Structure 1
Amino acid sequence: MNRVGLATIAREWGRLGCIGFGGPPAHIALLRDLCVHRRKWLSEKEFEDGIAVTNLLPGPASTQLAILCAWRLRGAGGALVGGFCFIVPGLVLILALAALFLSAHPPLWVLGAAAGAGAAVPAVAAHAAWGLIPGSWKRVGAGRSARIRWCGYVLVGAVAAAVTGPWLVVVLVVAGLVEVAVRVPSGRAQAVLPVLALPAAVGGLPAVAWVAAKVGALSYGGGFVIIPMMQHDAVTTYGWMTDAQFLDAVALGQITPGPVVQTVAVVGYAAAGLGGGLLAAFVAFAPSFAMIILGGPRLERLRDNAKAQAFLTGAGAAAIGAIAGTTLPLTAALHTPWQYGLLAAAALWLLALRRGVVTALVGAGVIGALITLAG
């Protein structure tokens, strides 16, 4: 383990937290440039192993990679400092924006910008799902039956995201366990209790913590996987937000630096103010810190664990379908004709022209603000 000063880790990881726009691909590129190319703290193989391991864990993978890299440089202290400095800049920004967007009387241009950026969110979800397909398809292998199962997992995940809300978690777990049973018939796939799929029986801060726990522990395949479940809890079960406000929250999670999972902080803010936002962020990210710090060297063994690989193949394919299926409830939340026009433009920008997510959301927000002011 390299011994790098905590002050250095705080400075470098904090810088990444400030400039980490663009989601996991951008975060991975920034971490690679820092740890492998510029500072040479880690070898290319060590870094690739880190990517492989964190992709096998539930939760925000790029954040876990940032924590893991810092852990390799300075142990538990490095993991805590690096992860904290990576997360906090985006968290501060997203909570400040939440206070503006969710205020009792936000300016007219703010409402327009929120409606515009929210209109682009379904296209962003479709773009995220499309980007995950090549890696997941490669993991399946060449067998015809395996590929048929993969298509089935994707289809079931899409249907679950579109119609079942909180029970999406059960679908992801079952898809993973089915693939374990098929690929590792000699091993017994341990049943995973789907209790996290159930809504909490109480409201207030305990409910905020419950929703955040599900987000932090079950976001296989990227932050968009937990969008249907979070939307059901925030809008339908507890009534903390409207559909339009939830779209705003997802957009804020995309345009701010850091992990998309920070969307849950906006939900927490809507439920219980600043304390709710901070609690939601703490609970959502705590599992990532725990898995890296407590797992330590044992995490490397996951790469060669047949059950872990099989589970991720099934659950990952269902997650892709879930992300794609998310586009339906997100599109249904749009409420004005011009938003559908912006959605079509965003889809063209992202899927046909292959341009960036941040530019799509910011551009849609600017257009939305101008349309609202002109009207």
Structure 2
Amino acid sequence: MKEQASYSRNDLVRYFVRLGTLGFGGPPALVSAMHRDLVIDRQWISEDDYREGMALAQLAPGPLAAQLAIYMGYVHYGSLGATLVGLAFVLPSFIMVVALGWAYQQFGGLPWMQAIFYGIGAAVIGIVANGTYKLTTKTVGKDQLSWGLFAVSAIATAVTESELLWLVLLSGGIYWLVKTPPHLIRPGVGNSLVPFLPQLQDFQTNSILWKLAVFFAKAGTFVFGSGLAIVPFLYGGVVKEYGWLTEQQFLDAVAVAMITPGPVVITVAFIGYLVAGLPGACVAALATFLPCYLLTVLPAPYFKRWGKNPSIKAFVDGITIAAVGAIAGAVIVLARRQLVDIPAILIAITTIGLLYRFKKLPELSIIGGAAMIGLLLRYIV
């Protein structure tokens, strides 16, 4: 039986509409924002429920931020809450990306995009670094074992530029063994679902929408990690295997996902739009996010039922620590790609300083200012 919530379902939906509309920075920033807003500031979600959501999102394939949002909706309002939150979180960025796809095709590319992204990308690094610092200090605490697991995960992510599922599981196992020596090892939650999707290949058709559905369903079902982890998979399919997009179009698609708020994986809608218009965008988004939704909602009751068991809680805590370490490592990866010169570095440092000095400063104002700086640097200076 669910405990009484201190907020209404509509309150939560409104929050995720806002986050999906204004939440820049990809998985690290969005995950940090949910913790700050829902756990610390509003206290709608308990720390334990948040950790369970992080663990489930890390264990199951699909985009990390979207899965965590769906689980937050499930905590007090079940499957309906999860469904409404998922839609509220994804739809705003979907609409924006489709609009940009239309403009991209109408005006032969978006040359101003790189200039805006230059400034926004640098500011986002500062925002993400600030949010990750807060999330790390809250989650990892002062325990030496926790910091060791965090550091290993962060370094591994930074070096390999990917989130390693086996390392996340190993972290959970080590933390579990040290904190609550087990009587029986039973760590299996979450990765054995939807075995039928590979069989979709048996039903070949010449329809481009069907091909899009099959490809993006695989992307949503078999790619682990944050939204950024899906990018190499998409590149191999839409550019190399099928030739749906050119190299430049694919890079533009990733840039669109980064400069728009909401989950980074919404780039699939932009790709689908370029391939087959609005129907292509809808099919690509639905095929990617439906597995993510199912692989969060179906295991959720078991996480809620057994998550308070000391052994399982220790396993979940270890996974959460590794997940936060992976987020910190992802910040380093993003910084290497975005902070390419002195002005970009200065924008990022200034952003961190502003957020440290002015605790209530709206992130959207920083994003807007950084976008203007990017345009000035590229087109005037």
Q: Aligned Cα RMSD in Å?
A: 4.3
Change (3 A) 1:78 1:137: closer
1:122 aligns with 2:125: yes
Distance of 2:192 and 2:300 partners within structure 1 = 27
**Partner in structure 2 of residue 208 of structure 1:** 216
Alpha-carbon distance change, 246 to 331 in structure 1, aligned in 2, over 3 angstroms: farther
SS at match of 1:333: helix
1:304 matched to which residue of 2?
A: 308
Verify the 8 A CA contact 2:123 2:348 in the aligned structure 1. Answer: yes
The aligned counterpart of 1:326 is: 330
Q: Which runs of 5+ in 2 are unaligned?
A: 3-7, 24-29, 58-63, 202-210, 240-244
The 2-side partners of 1:113 and 1:345 are apart by 17
Normalized against structure 2, the TM-score is what? 0.67
Judged with a 3 Å threshold, the aligned counterparts in structure 2 of structure 1 residues 277 and 357 are, in CA distance, closer, same or farther, namely farther
Counterparts in 2 of 1:1-375, with a 5 A limit?
Answer: 15-20=14-19, 21-22=22-23, 23=30, 51=50, 54-58=53-57, 59=64, 60-71=67-78, 76=79, 79-81=82-84, 83-97=86-100, 100=103, 105-138=108-141, 147-166=143-162, 168-182=164-178, 183-190=180-187, 206-213=214-221, 218=224, 225-227=226-228, 229-234=229-234, 246=254, 248-252=256-260, 256=261, 260=262, 262-267=263-268, 269-270=270-271, 273=274, 277-279=281-283, 281-286=285-290, 289-290=293-294, 294=298, 298-334=302-338, 335=340, 337-351=342-356, 353-354=358-359, 355-375=361-381
**2:56 touches 2:296 (CA, 8 Å); kept in 1?**
no
Alignment check: 8 A CA contact 1:213 1:283 kept: no
Can you list the C-alpha shifts for 1:183-232, whole angstroms capped at 9, x where unaligned? 34222144689999xxx9x99664533333356xx55xxxxx553x2344
1:225-277 deviations in Å (ceiling 9; x for gaps): 553x234445688767667864552342xxx3xxx4x2101145337735665
**Structure 1 residue runs without a partner (length 5+):** 3-7, 38-43, 220-224
- 1:76-134 Cα distance to aligned partner (Å, 9 max, x none): 55654554345323332244345556987345433311221122232233223212123
- State the SS of the aligned residue for 1:304: coil
Q: Structure 2: which amino acid aligns with 1:126?
A: A
Letter in 1 for 2:290: A
Preserved CA contact (<8 Å) 2:35 2:135: no
TM-score of the superposition, structure 1-length normalised? 0.68
Contact 2:71 2:296 in 1 (8 A): yes
Residues 340 and 106 (structure 1), Cα distance of their counterparts in 2 relative to 1, 3 Å cut: farther
Equivalent pairs counted in the alignment come to: 329
Which AA in structure 2 matches 1:364?
A
